[in-house]
Structure 1
Amino acid sequence: MCHLISELYICITNMVHKIRLRKKLMPRTFADLSALVFMSFAIPGVYWFEVFVVAPTVYSWTLNFLHVIAGTFIVTNIIGNFIGIILVDTSTQGLVLPSQVPPGWHVCANCESTAPPRSRHCPTCNVCILKKEHHCVFTGCCVGHGNHRYFYIFLFYMWGSTLYCSFLNAFFIWPYVGGFNLWAIVRLLLPGVWLLLEPSVSTLYAFLFSINVIGFLFMSVLIYYYTGLILTNTTTHENNSRKGQKYDLGRNHNIKVSLGERWYLTWLFPTVSSPLPYDGLDWSTYSGAKSVRPKTK
Protein backbone atom coordinates (compact mmCIF):
# COMPACT_ATOMS: atom_id res chain seq x y z
CA MET A 1 0.00 0.00 0.00
CA CYS A 2 2.81 2.42 0.88
CA HIS A 3 4.49 1.63 -2.44
CA LEU A 4 1.22 2.34 -4.29
CA ILE A 5 0.79 5.69 -2.51
CA SER A 6 4.43 6.56 -3.27
CA GLU A 7 3.99 5.78 -6.97
CA LEU A 8 0.79 7.84 -7.09
CA TYR A 9 2.57 10.77 -5.42
CA ILE A 10 5.44 10.58 -7.93
CA CYS A 11 2.95 10.42 -10.82
CA ILE A 12 1.06 13.50 -9.59
CA THR A 13 4.30 15.40 -8.90
CA ASN A 14 5.69 14.67 -12.37
CA MET A 15 2.42 15.70 -13.98
CA VAL A 16 2.32 19.00 -12.07
CA HIS A 17 5.90 19.85 -13.07
CA LYS A 18 5.05 19.34 -16.75
CA ILE A 19 1.92 21.51 -16.67
CA ARG A 20 1.66 25.27 -16.25
CA LEU A 21 -0.63 25.99 -13.33
CA ARG A 22 -2.83 29.06 -12.92
CA LYS A 23 -1.71 31.47 -10.22
CA LYS A 24 -5.11 33.10 -9.66
CA LEU A 25 -7.83 30.50 -9.26
CA MET A 26 -10.71 32.64 -7.99
CA PRO A 27 -13.45 33.42 -10.55
CA ARG A 28 -13.51 37.04 -11.71
CA THR A 29 -17.28 37.53 -11.92
CA PHE A 30 -20.20 36.88 -9.58
CA ALA A 31 -21.84 34.62 -12.16
CA ASP A 32 -18.70 32.48 -12.42
CA LEU A 33 -18.35 32.30 -8.64
CA SER A 34 -22.01 31.35 -8.18
CA ALA A 35 -21.78 28.60 -10.80
CA LEU A 36 -18.55 27.26 -9.29
CA VAL A 37 -20.05 27.16 -5.79
CA PHE A 38 -23.15 25.41 -7.16
CA MET A 39 -21.06 22.72 -8.87
CA SER A 40 -18.88 22.29 -5.77
CA PHE A 41 -21.95 21.36 -3.71
CA ALA A 42 -24.08 19.70 -6.41
CA ILE A 43 -21.55 17.05 -7.47
CA PRO A 44 -20.87 15.54 -4.00
CA GLY A 45 -24.51 16.13 -3.03
CA VAL A 46 -25.87 14.04 -5.92
CA TYR A 47 -23.23 11.37 -5.24
CA TRP A 48 -24.33 11.12 -1.60
CA PHE A 49 -28.02 10.95 -2.57
CA GLU A 50 -27.55 8.22 -5.17
CA VAL A 51 -25.13 6.09 -3.15
CA PHE A 52 -26.61 6.39 0.34
CA VAL A 53 -30.32 6.95 -0.38
CA VAL A 54 -31.29 5.57 -3.79
CA ALA A 55 -29.06 2.51 -4.23
CA PRO A 56 -29.69 0.95 -0.75
CA THR A 57 -33.45 1.36 -1.29
CA VAL A 58 -33.52 -0.29 -4.71
CA TYR A 59 -30.85 -3.00 -4.50
CA SER A 60 -29.64 -5.73 -2.18
CA TRP A 61 -26.41 -5.34 -0.19
CA THR A 62 -24.28 -7.06 -2.86
CA LEU A 63 -25.58 -5.01 -5.78
CA ASN A 64 -25.52 -1.87 -3.66
CA PHE A 65 -21.82 -2.43 -2.96
CA LEU A 66 -21.14 -2.64 -6.70
CA HIS A 67 -23.05 0.59 -7.24
CA VAL A 68 -20.97 2.27 -4.53
CA ILE A 69 -17.78 1.25 -6.35
CA ALA A 70 -19.10 2.39 -9.73
CA GLY A 71 -20.42 5.66 -8.32
CA THR A 72 -17.17 6.41 -6.52
CA PHE A 73 -15.16 5.76 -9.69
CA ILE A 74 -17.40 8.10 -11.69
CA VAL A 75 -17.43 10.92 -9.14
CA THR A 76 -13.65 10.68 -8.71
CA ASN A 77 -13.17 11.27 -12.42
CA ILE A 78 -15.75 14.06 -12.42
CA ILE A 79 -14.11 15.93 -9.54
CA GLY A 80 -10.56 15.19 -10.71
CA ASN A 81 -11.15 16.48 -14.22
CA PHE A 82 -13.15 19.43 -12.87
CA ILE A 83 -10.13 20.41 -10.78
CA GLY A 84 -7.87 19.85 -13.79
CA ILE A 85 -9.85 22.38 -15.83
CA ILE A 86 -9.39 24.97 -13.09
CA LEU A 87 -5.72 24.36 -12.31
CA VAL A 88 -4.18 24.27 -15.80
CA ASP A 89 -3.06 27.62 -17.19
CA THR A 90 -4.22 28.00 -20.80
CA SER A 91 -3.19 31.64 -21.18
CA THR A 92 -0.21 33.25 -22.90
CA GLN A 93 0.97 34.79 -19.63
CA GLY A 94 4.49 33.75 -18.73
CA LEU A 95 5.32 32.58 -22.26
CA VAL A 96 8.12 34.11 -24.31
CA LEU A 97 6.35 35.69 -27.29
CA PRO A 98 8.10 37.23 -30.32
CA SER A 99 8.20 41.02 -30.54
CA GLN A 100 7.50 40.91 -34.27
CA VAL A 101 4.46 39.23 -35.81
CA PRO A 102 5.34 35.83 -37.38
CA PRO A 103 3.21 34.45 -40.23
CA GLY A 104 -0.18 33.34 -38.96
CA TRP A 105 0.12 35.32 -35.74
CA HIS A 106 -1.74 38.52 -34.87
CA VAL A 107 -1.50 41.43 -32.46
CA CYS A 108 -3.88 41.50 -29.50
CA ALA A 109 -4.87 45.11 -28.85
CA ASN A 110 -6.02 44.28 -25.32
CA CYS A 111 -2.84 42.49 -24.25
CA GLU A 112 -0.68 44.80 -26.41
CA SER A 113 1.44 41.86 -27.54
CA THR A 114 1.66 39.29 -30.29
CA ALA A 115 -0.70 36.33 -30.09
CA PRO A 116 -0.25 32.87 -31.65
CA PRO A 117 -2.60 31.23 -34.17
CA ARG A 118 -5.87 29.89 -32.73
CA SER A 119 -5.56 32.08 -29.63
CA ARG A 120 -8.26 34.57 -28.69
CA HIS A 121 -8.59 37.21 -26.02
CA CYS A 122 -11.01 36.46 -23.18
CA PRO A 123 -12.67 39.62 -21.83
CA THR A 124 -13.54 37.85 -18.56
CA CYS A 125 -10.06 36.46 -17.86
CA ASN A 126 -8.51 39.57 -19.50
CA VAL A 127 -5.81 37.55 -21.24
CA CYS A 128 -5.24 35.69 -24.50
CA ILE A 129 -6.03 31.98 -24.33
CA LEU A 130 -4.12 29.35 -26.33
CA LYS A 131 -6.46 27.54 -28.75
CA LYS A 132 -9.38 29.08 -26.93
CA GLU A 133 -12.49 26.90 -26.94
CA HIS A 134 -14.72 29.00 -24.68
CA HIS A 135 -14.96 30.57 -21.25
CA CYS A 136 -16.57 28.06 -18.89
CA VAL A 137 -18.79 29.75 -16.32
CA PHE A 138 -18.95 26.63 -14.13
CA THR A 139 -15.18 26.60 -13.57
CA GLY A 140 -14.59 30.35 -13.79
CA CYS A 141 -11.84 29.93 -16.37
CA CYS A 142 -11.26 29.31 -20.07
CA VAL A 143 -11.08 25.96 -21.81
CA GLY A 144 -8.20 25.84 -24.25
CA HIS A 145 -4.85 24.24 -24.98
CA GLY A 146 -3.77 22.26 -21.94
CA ASN A 147 -7.09 21.67 -20.19
CA HIS A 148 -9.24 20.67 -23.18
CA ARG A 149 -8.70 17.04 -22.20
CA TYR A 150 -10.02 17.60 -18.68
CA PHE A 151 -13.03 19.50 -19.97
CA TYR A 152 -14.07 16.82 -22.44
CA ILE A 153 -13.61 13.90 -20.06
CA PHE A 154 -15.44 15.87 -17.37
CA LEU A 155 -18.34 16.22 -19.83
CA PHE A 156 -18.17 12.52 -20.67
CA TYR A 157 -18.42 11.43 -17.04
CA MET A 158 -21.12 14.01 -16.34
CA TRP A 159 -23.08 12.54 -19.24
CA GLY A 160 -22.49 9.02 -17.94
CA SER A 161 -23.39 9.97 -14.38
CA THR A 162 -26.67 11.67 -15.31
CA LEU A 163 -27.62 8.63 -17.41
CA TYR A 164 -26.65 6.32 -14.55
CA CYS A 165 -28.55 8.38 -11.96
CA SER A 166 -31.63 8.61 -14.17
CA PHE A 167 -31.60 4.82 -14.51
CA LEU A 168 -31.31 4.30 -10.74
CA ASN A 169 -33.92 6.92 -9.95
CA ALA A 170 -36.39 5.40 -12.42
CA PHE A 171 -36.68 2.39 -10.08
CA PHE A 172 -36.59 4.50 -6.95
CA ILE A 173 -39.04 7.31 -7.62
CA TRP A 174 -42.39 5.65 -8.46
CA PRO A 175 -43.45 4.60 -4.94
CA TYR A 176 -42.89 8.18 -3.76
CA VAL A 177 -45.12 9.72 -6.46
CA GLY A 178 -47.99 7.24 -6.17
CA GLY A 179 -46.92 4.71 -8.79
CA PHE A 180 -46.70 4.92 -12.55
CA ASN A 181 -49.73 6.98 -13.60
CA LEU A 182 -50.66 10.20 -15.39
CA TRP A 183 -50.63 12.28 -12.21
CA ALA A 184 -47.14 11.09 -11.31
CA ILE A 185 -45.87 11.91 -14.80
CA VAL A 186 -47.33 15.44 -14.53
CA ARG A 187 -45.50 15.91 -11.23
CA LEU A 188 -42.25 14.80 -12.83
CA LEU A 189 -42.73 17.14 -15.79
CA LEU A 190 -43.29 20.14 -13.50
CA PRO A 191 -41.03 19.38 -10.53
CA GLY A 192 -40.27 22.97 -9.57
CA VAL A 193 -43.95 23.93 -9.44
CA TRP A 194 -44.90 20.99 -7.24
CA LEU A 195 -41.91 21.55 -4.98
CA LEU A 196 -43.30 25.02 -4.22
CA LEU A 197 -46.96 23.99 -3.99
CA GLU A 198 -46.43 20.74 -2.12
CA PRO A 199 -43.08 20.72 -0.33
CA SER A 200 -42.35 17.20 0.88
CA VAL A 201 -39.69 14.51 0.70
CA SER A 202 -41.47 12.75 -2.18
CA THR A 203 -41.72 16.00 -4.15
CA LEU A 204 -38.03 16.67 -3.52
CA TYR A 205 -37.18 13.22 -4.86
CA ALA A 206 -39.33 13.91 -7.92
CA PHE A 207 -37.50 17.21 -8.40
CA LEU A 208 -34.08 15.52 -8.24
CA PHE A 209 -35.21 12.84 -10.69
CA SER A 210 -36.38 15.45 -13.20
CA ILE A 211 -33.18 17.47 -12.80
CA ASN A 212 -31.15 14.33 -13.56
CA VAL A 213 -33.14 13.63 -16.72
CA ILE A 214 -32.83 17.24 -17.87
CA GLY A 215 -29.12 17.11 -17.07
CA PHE A 216 -28.73 13.96 -19.15
CA LEU A 217 -30.44 15.56 -22.15
CA PHE A 218 -28.33 18.70 -21.79
CA MET A 219 -25.09 16.72 -21.45
CA SER A 220 -26.04 14.60 -24.47
CA VAL A 221 -26.24 17.74 -26.61
CA LEU A 222 -22.91 19.03 -25.26
CA ILE A 223 -21.06 15.73 -25.68
CA TYR A 224 -22.35 15.42 -29.25
CA TYR A 225 -21.29 18.97 -30.11
CA TYR A 226 -17.83 18.89 -28.54
CA THR A 227 -17.08 15.40 -29.86
CA GLY A 228 -17.63 16.75 -33.36
CA LEU A 229 -15.25 19.64 -32.69
CA ILE A 230 -12.52 17.38 -31.30
CA LEU A 231 -12.79 14.94 -34.21
CA THR A 232 -12.24 17.82 -36.65
CA ASN A 233 -9.69 19.66 -34.46
CA THR A 234 -11.87 22.76 -34.43
CA THR A 235 -12.81 25.25 -31.72
CA THR A 236 -16.25 26.81 -31.36
CA HIS A 237 -15.03 30.14 -32.78
CA GLU A 238 -13.32 28.43 -35.71
CA ASN A 239 -16.43 26.36 -36.38
CA ASN A 240 -18.69 29.42 -36.36
CA SER A 241 -16.33 31.42 -38.57
CA ARG A 242 -15.46 28.43 -40.80
CA LYS A 243 -11.74 28.90 -40.16
CA GLY A 244 -10.91 25.59 -38.53
CA GLN A 245 -10.89 23.24 -41.52
CA LYS A 246 -7.19 23.80 -42.16
CA TYR A 247 -6.29 22.16 -38.82
CA ASP A 248 -8.18 18.94 -39.62
CA LEU A 249 -5.40 16.36 -40.10
CA GLY A 250 -7.44 13.20 -39.61
CA ARG A 251 -9.37 11.87 -36.64
CA ASN A 252 -6.50 10.01 -34.99
CA HIS A 253 -4.29 13.09 -35.05
CA ASN A 254 -7.13 15.41 -34.10
CA ILE A 255 -7.97 13.41 -30.98
CA LYS A 256 -4.34 13.59 -29.85
CA VAL A 257 -4.32 17.37 -30.28
CA SER A 258 -6.95 17.74 -27.54
CA LEU A 259 -6.59 14.60 -25.41
CA GLY A 260 -2.88 13.88 -25.83
CA GLU A 261 -0.76 11.03 -27.17
CA ARG A 262 -2.17 8.58 -24.61
CA TRP A 263 -5.78 9.63 -25.07
CA TYR A 264 -6.99 6.04 -24.71
CA LEU A 265 -5.79 6.03 -21.07
CA THR A 266 -7.01 9.48 -20.02
CA TRP A 267 -10.47 8.04 -19.37
CA LEU A 268 -9.15 5.96 -16.49
CA PHE A 269 -7.94 8.67 -14.12
CA PRO A 270 -7.28 12.43 -14.27
CA THR A 271 -3.60 12.06 -13.33
CA VAL A 272 -2.75 9.80 -16.28
CA SER A 273 0.05 11.47 -18.25
CA SER A 274 -0.87 12.22 -21.88
CA PRO A 275 1.58 14.67 -23.53
CA LEU A 276 0.13 17.00 -26.16
CA PRO A 277 1.76 17.04 -29.62
CA TYR A 278 1.83 20.86 -29.78
CA ASP A 279 2.89 23.64 -27.43
CA GLY A 280 -0.11 25.85 -28.13
CA LEU A 281 1.94 28.33 -30.16
CA ASP A 282 2.66 26.47 -33.40
CA TRP A 283 0.15 24.40 -35.33
CA SER A 284 0.37 22.16 -38.39
CA THR A 285 -2.28 22.47 -41.10
CA TYR A 286 -3.68 20.04 -43.66
CA SER A 287 -1.62 21.75 -46.38
CA GLY A 288 1.55 20.87 -44.51
CA ALA A 289 2.27 24.49 -43.64
CA LYS A 290 3.56 25.32 -40.19
CA SER A 291 4.49 28.59 -38.55
CA VAL A 292 8.17 29.32 -38.85
CA ARG A 293 8.74 30.29 -35.22
CA PRO A 294 10.78 27.63 -33.36
CA LYS A 295 8.90 25.59 -30.80
CA THR A 296 9.13 27.05 -27.30
CA LYS A 297 10.59 24.75 -24.70
Structure 2
Amino acid sequence: MYNIRFRKRLMPRTLTDLSAMVFMSLAIPAVYWFEIYVVAPTVYNWILNILHTILGTYFVINIIGNFMAIIAVDTSTQGLLLPSQVPPGWHVCAICESTAPPRSRHCITCNMCVLKKEHHCVFAGCCVGLGNHRYFYMFLLLMWVSTMYCSCLNACFIWPYVGGFNLWALVRLVLPGVWLMLEPSLDTLYAFLFSINVIGFLFMSVLMYYYTGLLVTNTTTRENNNPKGQSYNYGREHNIKVTLGERWYLTWVFPTLSSPLPYDGLDWSVQTEEKSVRPKTK
Protein backbone atom coordinates (compact mmCIF):
# COMPACT_ATOMS: atom_id res chain seq x y z
CA MET A 1 0.00 0.00 0.00
CA TYR A 2 1.34 3.44 -0.95
CA ASN A 3 1.72 6.09 1.76
CA ILE A 4 1.41 9.67 0.52
CA ARG A 5 4.46 11.84 1.09
CA PHE A 6 4.84 15.55 0.34
CA ARG A 7 7.61 17.34 -1.49
CA LYS A 8 9.87 19.74 0.38
CA ARG A 9 10.64 21.78 -2.73
CA LEU A 10 7.54 22.98 -4.56
CA MET A 11 9.02 25.55 -6.94
CA PRO A 12 10.06 24.44 -10.46
CA ARG A 13 13.74 23.97 -11.15
CA THR A 14 13.81 25.48 -14.65
CA LEU A 15 12.60 28.73 -16.19
CA THR A 16 10.49 26.81 -18.73
CA ASP A 17 8.65 24.95 -15.98
CA LEU A 18 8.17 28.16 -13.98
CA SER A 19 6.74 30.00 -16.99
CA ALA A 20 4.33 27.15 -17.77
CA MET A 21 3.21 26.96 -14.13
CA VAL A 22 2.61 30.72 -13.97
CA PHE A 23 0.61 30.60 -17.21
CA MET A 24 -1.60 27.79 -15.90
CA SER A 25 -2.01 29.51 -12.54
CA LEU A 26 -3.21 32.70 -14.27
CA ALA A 27 -5.24 31.11 -17.08
CA ILE A 28 -7.55 29.06 -14.84
CA PRO A 29 -8.83 31.95 -12.67
CA ALA A 30 -8.98 34.27 -15.70
CA VAL A 31 -11.25 31.88 -17.60
CA TYR A 32 -13.32 31.34 -14.44
CA TRP A 33 -13.87 35.10 -14.12
CA PHE A 34 -14.79 35.35 -17.79
CA GLU A 35 -17.35 32.53 -17.61
CA ILE A 36 -18.95 33.57 -14.32
CA TYR A 37 -19.03 37.36 -14.59
CA VAL A 38 -19.16 37.98 -18.34
CA VAL A 39 -20.57 35.05 -20.31
CA ALA A 40 -23.18 33.52 -18.00
CA PRO A 41 -25.11 36.75 -17.18
CA THR A 42 -25.34 37.45 -20.92
CA VAL A 43 -26.42 33.98 -22.08
CA TYR A 44 -28.45 32.62 -19.13
CA ASN A 45 -31.44 33.79 -17.10
CA TRP A 46 -30.92 34.31 -13.38
CA ILE A 47 -31.82 30.73 -12.38
CA LEU A 48 -29.42 29.12 -14.85
CA ASN A 49 -26.86 31.76 -13.98
CA ILE A 50 -26.93 30.73 -10.29
CA LEU A 51 -26.64 27.05 -11.23
CA HIS A 52 -23.77 27.87 -13.61
CA THR A 53 -21.98 29.81 -10.84
CA ILE A 54 -22.32 26.99 -8.30
CA LEU A 55 -21.10 24.28 -10.69
CA GLY A 56 -18.37 26.51 -12.11
CA THR A 57 -17.04 27.32 -8.64
CA TYR A 58 -17.06 23.62 -7.70
CA PHE A 59 -15.18 22.70 -10.87
CA VAL A 60 -12.53 25.39 -10.53
CA ILE A 61 -11.86 24.52 -6.86
CA ASN A 62 -11.61 20.85 -7.82
CA ILE A 63 -9.28 21.64 -10.74
CA ILE A 64 -7.01 23.87 -8.64
CA GLY A 65 -7.01 21.28 -5.84
CA ASN A 66 -5.86 18.52 -8.17
CA PHE A 67 -3.27 20.81 -9.74
CA MET A 68 -1.86 21.67 -6.30
CA ALA A 69 -1.82 17.98 -5.38
CA ILE A 70 0.25 17.17 -8.49
CA ILE A 71 2.82 19.68 -7.28
CA ALA A 72 2.72 18.79 -3.58
CA VAL A 73 2.80 14.96 -3.59
CA ASP A 74 6.27 13.45 -3.60
CA THR A 75 6.67 10.74 -6.24
CA SER A 76 10.40 10.16 -5.82
CA THR A 77 12.37 7.37 -4.18
CA GLN A 78 14.10 9.86 -1.89
CA GLY A 79 13.56 9.07 1.79
CA LEU A 80 12.59 5.46 1.08
CA LEU A 81 14.52 2.54 2.53
CA LEU A 82 16.06 0.90 -0.54
CA PRO A 83 18.06 -2.35 -0.54
CA SER A 84 21.80 -2.19 -1.02
CA GLN A 85 21.74 -5.28 -3.25
CA VAL A 86 19.88 -5.28 -6.57
CA PRO A 87 16.71 -7.44 -6.28
CA PRO A 88 15.26 -9.17 -9.38
CA GLY A 89 13.64 -6.64 -11.69
CA TRP A 90 15.38 -3.68 -10.04
CA HIS A 91 18.22 -1.64 -11.53
CA VAL A 92 20.96 0.70 -10.37
CA CYS A 93 20.65 4.43 -10.95
CA ALA A 94 24.16 5.71 -11.59
CA ILE A 95 23.14 9.33 -10.97
CA CYS A 96 21.43 8.70 -7.62
CA GLU A 97 24.04 6.04 -6.81
CA SER A 98 21.38 3.74 -5.38
CA THR A 99 19.11 0.88 -6.37
CA ALA A 100 15.84 1.75 -8.10
CA PRO A 101 12.64 -0.35 -8.17
CA PRO A 102 10.86 -1.59 -11.30
CA ARG A 103 9.02 1.07 -13.34
CA SER A 104 11.00 3.88 -11.69
CA ARG A 105 13.16 6.14 -13.84
CA HIS A 106 15.52 9.02 -13.18
CA CYS A 107 14.33 12.52 -14.14
CA ILE A 108 17.13 14.80 -15.26
CA THR A 109 15.08 17.94 -14.52
CA CYS A 110 13.97 16.91 -11.03
CA ASN A 111 17.34 15.19 -10.42
CA MET A 112 15.79 12.18 -8.69
CA CYS A 113 14.30 8.75 -9.42
CA VAL A 114 10.52 8.70 -9.67
CA LEU A 115 8.28 5.77 -8.72
CA LYS A 116 6.36 4.50 -11.77
CA LYS A 117 7.45 7.55 -13.69
CA GLU A 118 4.89 8.65 -16.27
CA HIS A 119 6.48 11.88 -17.52
CA HIS A 120 7.79 15.24 -16.41
CA CYS A 121 4.96 17.79 -16.46
CA VAL A 122 6.19 21.29 -17.34
CA PHE A 123 2.93 22.92 -16.19
CA ALA A 124 3.32 21.49 -12.68
CA GLY A 125 7.10 21.78 -12.69
CA CYS A 126 7.52 18.22 -11.44
CA CYS A 127 7.19 14.58 -12.44
CA VAL A 128 3.97 12.62 -12.65
CA GLY A 129 4.47 9.28 -10.98
CA LEU A 130 2.81 6.75 -8.72
CA GLY A 131 1.75 9.14 -5.97
CA ASN A 132 0.30 12.01 -8.03
CA HIS A 133 -0.83 10.20 -11.21
CA ARG A 134 -4.39 10.15 -9.90
CA TYR A 135 -4.42 13.94 -9.48
CA PHE A 136 -2.89 14.46 -12.90
CA TYR A 137 -5.54 12.34 -14.60
CA MET A 138 -8.41 13.96 -12.66
CA PHE A 139 -6.99 17.38 -13.53
CA LEU A 140 -7.05 16.43 -17.22
CA LEU A 141 -10.57 14.99 -16.98
CA LEU A 142 -12.03 18.03 -15.22
CA MET A 143 -10.22 20.43 -17.53
CA TRP A 144 -11.50 18.51 -20.56
CA VAL A 145 -15.12 18.63 -19.36
CA SER A 146 -14.82 22.31 -18.38
CA THR A 147 -13.23 23.50 -21.62
CA MET A 148 -15.73 21.52 -23.71
CA TYR A 149 -18.65 23.10 -21.86
CA CYS A 150 -17.14 26.59 -21.92
CA SER A 151 -16.35 26.37 -25.64
CA CYS A 152 -19.97 25.52 -26.44
CA LEU A 153 -21.30 28.25 -24.15
CA ASN A 154 -18.88 30.86 -25.42
CA ALA A 155 -19.84 30.14 -29.03
CA CYS A 156 -23.28 31.56 -28.22
CA PHE A 157 -21.70 34.61 -26.59
CA ILE A 158 -18.79 35.70 -28.76
CA TRP A 159 -20.22 36.29 -32.26
CA PRO A 160 -21.76 39.74 -31.60
CA TYR A 161 -18.38 40.94 -30.29
CA VAL A 162 -16.49 39.87 -33.41
CA GLY A 163 -18.99 41.22 -35.92
CA GLY A 164 -21.07 38.11 -36.47
CA PHE A 165 -20.28 34.83 -38.19
CA ASN A 166 -18.00 35.66 -41.14
CA LEU A 167 -14.52 34.92 -42.50
CA TRP A 168 -12.88 37.93 -40.83
CA ALA A 169 -14.33 36.94 -37.47
CA LEU A 170 -12.93 33.42 -37.86
CA VAL A 171 -9.49 34.78 -38.72
CA ARG A 172 -9.50 36.97 -35.62
CA LEU A 173 -10.54 34.03 -33.45
CA VAL A 174 -7.82 31.82 -34.93
CA LEU A 175 -5.17 34.48 -34.23
CA PRO A 176 -6.43 35.97 -30.95
CA GLY A 177 -3.01 37.01 -29.64
CA VAL A 178 -2.18 39.02 -32.78
CA TRP A 179 -5.60 40.65 -32.79
CA LEU A 180 -5.27 41.55 -29.11
CA MET A 181 -1.93 43.30 -29.73
CA LEU A 182 -3.09 45.13 -32.89
CA GLU A 183 -6.49 46.14 -31.57
CA PRO A 184 -6.51 46.02 -27.77
CA SER A 185 -10.05 46.33 -26.39
CA LEU A 186 -12.54 44.50 -24.21
CA ASP A 187 -14.00 42.78 -27.28
CA THR A 188 -10.63 41.41 -28.35
CA LEU A 189 -9.96 40.26 -24.78
CA TYR A 190 -13.22 38.29 -24.86
CA ALA A 191 -12.25 36.77 -28.20
CA PHE A 192 -8.83 35.89 -26.82
CA LEU A 193 -10.36 34.06 -23.83
CA PHE A 194 -12.78 32.28 -26.17
CA SER A 195 -9.89 31.04 -28.31
CA ILE A 196 -7.94 29.96 -25.21
CA ASN A 197 -10.92 27.79 -24.25
CA VAL A 198 -11.19 26.18 -27.68
CA ILE A 199 -7.44 25.55 -27.91
CA GLY A 200 -7.50 24.16 -24.38
CA PHE A 201 -10.35 21.81 -25.26
CA LEU A 202 -8.57 20.47 -28.34
CA PHE A 203 -5.33 20.04 -26.41
CA MET A 204 -7.09 18.31 -23.51
CA SER A 205 -8.96 16.02 -25.92
CA VAL A 206 -5.68 14.72 -27.33
CA LEU A 207 -4.21 14.24 -23.86
CA MET A 208 -7.34 12.51 -22.55
CA TYR A 209 -7.33 10.08 -25.46
CA TYR A 210 -3.66 9.24 -24.98
CA TYR A 211 -3.53 9.01 -21.18
CA THR A 212 -6.82 7.13 -20.90
CA GLY A 213 -5.34 4.47 -23.18
CA LEU A 214 -2.34 4.21 -20.86
CA LEU A 215 -4.57 4.20 -17.78
CA VAL A 216 -6.72 1.22 -18.79
CA THR A 217 -3.67 -0.83 -19.79
CA ASN A 218 -1.54 0.13 -16.75
CA THR A 219 1.22 1.42 -19.01
CA THR A 220 3.52 4.41 -18.70
CA THR A 221 4.67 6.49 -21.65
CA ARG A 222 8.11 4.85 -21.62
CA GLU A 223 6.60 1.37 -21.43
CA ASN A 224 4.24 2.24 -24.27
CA ASN A 225 7.22 3.22 -26.41
CA ASN A 226 8.93 -0.07 -25.51
CA PRO A 227 6.23 -2.72 -26.16
CA LYS A 228 8.73 -5.58 -25.88
CA GLY A 229 9.37 -4.77 -22.22
CA GLN A 230 7.59 -6.08 -19.17
CA SER A 231 3.79 -6.00 -19.14
CA TYR A 232 1.73 -4.93 -16.11
CA ASN A 233 -1.66 -5.28 -17.81
CA TYR A 234 -3.87 -7.44 -15.57
CA GLY A 235 -7.37 -6.35 -16.56
CA ARG A 236 -9.07 -2.98 -16.89
CA GLU A 237 -10.45 -2.68 -13.34
CA HIS A 238 -7.15 -3.68 -11.76
CA ASN A 239 -5.26 -1.31 -14.06
CA ILE A 240 -7.49 1.63 -13.16
CA LYS A 241 -6.98 0.96 -9.44
CA VAL A 242 -3.20 1.10 -9.90
CA THR A 243 -3.51 4.78 -10.85
CA LEU A 244 -6.76 6.00 -9.25
CA GLY A 245 -6.85 3.76 -6.19
CA GLU A 246 -9.36 1.37 -4.69
CA ARG A 247 -12.12 4.00 -4.73
CA TRP A 248 -11.38 5.05 -8.30
CA TYR A 249 -15.06 5.71 -9.09
CA LEU A 250 -15.13 8.56 -6.52
CA THR A 251 -11.82 10.29 -7.24
CA TRP A 252 -13.54 12.88 -9.44
CA VAL A 253 -15.49 14.20 -6.43
CA PHE A 254 -12.58 16.00 -4.74
CA PRO A 255 -8.80 15.55 -4.48
CA THR A 256 -8.86 15.10 -0.68
CA LEU A 257 -11.12 12.04 -0.94
CA SER A 258 -9.18 8.96 0.15
CA SER A 259 -8.51 6.28 -2.48
CA PRO A 260 -5.62 4.04 -1.37
CA LEU A 261 -3.28 2.73 -4.05
CA PRO A 262 -2.70 -1.04 -4.09
CA TYR A 263 1.08 -0.75 -4.65
CA ASP A 264 3.91 0.97 -2.82
CA GLY A 265 5.97 1.42 -5.99
CA LEU A 266 8.65 -1.02 -4.81
CA ASP A 267 6.95 -4.40 -5.21
CA TRP A 268 4.91 -4.85 -8.39
CA SER A 269 3.72 -8.41 -7.78
CA VAL A 270 -0.01 -8.87 -8.32
CA GLN A 271 -1.90 -9.84 -5.18
CA THR A 272 -5.06 -11.95 -5.47
CA GLU A 273 -7.11 -13.90 -2.95
CA GLU A 274 -5.69 -17.20 -4.19
CA LYS A 275 -2.07 -16.47 -5.07
CA SER A 276 0.63 -13.90 -5.71
CA VAL A 277 2.19 -13.74 -9.13
CA ARG A 278 4.76 -11.49 -10.70
CA PRO A 279 4.32 -9.81 -14.09
CA LYS A 280 5.54 -11.89 -16.98
CA THR A 281 7.65 -10.74 -19.84
CA LYS A 282 5.92 -10.63 -23.22
Paired position in structure 1 for 2:54: 69
Paired position in structure 2 for 1:281: 266
Paired position in structure 1 for 2:181: 196
Paired residue type of 1:252: E
C-alpha change, 1:95 and 1:200, in structure 2 (3 Å) is same
2:233 to 234, 237, 248: 248
| 1:211 and 2:211 correspond | no
Whole-angstrom distance in 1 between the partners of 2:218 and 2:27: 32
When normalised by structure 1's length, the TM-score is 0.89
Q: CA deviation at 1:210?
A: 1.3
Paired position in structure 2 for 1:134: 119
Paired position in structure 2 for 1:117: 102
Whole-angstrom distance in 2 between the partners of 1:244 and 1:71: 43
Q: CA deviation at 1:34?
A: 1.3
Moved more, 160-169 or 238-247: 238-247
Paired position in structure 1 for 2:158: 173
> What is the SS of the residue equivalent to 2:231?
helix
Are the equivalent residues in 2 in contact too, given 1:50–1:165 (CA < 8 A)? yes
- Report the aligned-residue RMSD: 1.8
Paired position in structure 2 for 1:294: none
Are the equivalent residues in 1 in contact too, given 2:251–2:257 (CA < 8 A)? yes
Structure 1 residue ranges (4+ consecutive) displaced by more than 2 angstroms after TM superposition = 284-288
Whole-angstrom distance in 1 between the partners of 2:84 and 2:203: 44
Paired position in structure 1 for 2:220: 235
Whole-angstrom distance in 1 between the partners of 2:117 and 2:142: 22
Q: CA deviation at 1:288?
A: 2.8
Show the 5 A alignment for 1:52-131. Answer: 52-131=37-116
Percent of pairs with identical residues:
78
1:185 to 148, 170, 175: 170
Structure 1 unaligned spans of 5+ = 1-16, 292-297
C-alpha change, 1:244 and 1:207, in structure 2 (3 Å) is farther
Paired residue type of 1:83: M
Paired residue type of 2:224: N
Q: CA deviation at 1:36?
A: 1.2
Show the 5 A alignment for 1:20-35. Answer: 20-35=5-20
Structure 2 unaligned spans of 5+ = none
When normalised by structure 2's length, the TM-score is 0.93
The structure showing larger relative contact order (alpha-carbon pairs under 8 Å, at least 6 residues apart) is 2
Q: CA deviation at 1:245?
A: 5.6
Whole-angstrom distance in 2 between the partners of 1:27 and 1:244: 31
Paired position in structure 1 for 2:142: 157
